[in-house]
Amino acid sequence: MAKHRNTSARLEKKLSSTAKSLLLALYPKTFSEKDFYLEEGYYEGYRGTVWHQEWHHSWPVDYWGESDSDDCFWLLYSWLIDNTTDFEGMNAADELVGWDWGIEVDYTPFYSPWRGAGRAAIIGHCRRLVKASVTLDCMR
C-alpha cells in the first residue's frame, strides 16, 4: 500500500497543471502565468494523510478587499458548462409559459452535454480546441 500512497496527489497535480496550460492557451488575454499559484500541503482523506498539490488561479481583490481563488480544473469545467448551456432556450421556455412560477418547465434539453462528463473527456475536448487554435477573449 505504501507504494501507491501519493498516486492520487501526483495525479491531481498533473491534472491541474494540464488544466492551467489549457486555460493559458484558451484565454491568453484573461490569464497570465503570474496569476496562478501551487497550493500544497497535507490533508486527511479516506486513505489517511495525503500530500496535496493543485494549481489555483487567484482573482483580483474585490471592493471589500477580499480575493477568491479557484482550482484550474474547476475553472476549465465551469467554462465549458457555461459556454455550452443554452440560456436563451431556457429563457424562451419561460416566456412560452408566461413566466408562471406554478408551471413546471423542463430545462433538460437546454443543459450542457458536458454536465457530468469525466475529467479525461473534458481535458481531451479542451486539448482539441487548443489544437484547432481556438482562443477566447475573456472569461465571464
Q: Give the pLDDT band (50/70/90) at residue 1.
A: very low
pTM over 0.85, yes/no: no
Return the closest-CA partner of residue 137 out of 89, 83, 57. Answer: 83
| Beta pairing class for 36-45 and 69-71 | unpaired
Give the pLDDT of residue 19. Answer: 92
- Per residue in 12-52, pLDDT (tens digit) is 778 888 999 999 999 988 888 998 998 888 877 777 777 77
What cell does 72 get?
484550474
Distance CA 14, CA 104 (A): 43
Query: Cβ–Cβ contacts within 10 Å for residue 33, how many?
Result: 8
Contact 31, 21 (CB under 8 A): no
Task: Give residue for cell 450542457.
Answer: 112
Return the closest-CA partner of residue 11 out of 92, 99, 119. Answer: 119
End-to-end CA distance of the chain: 44
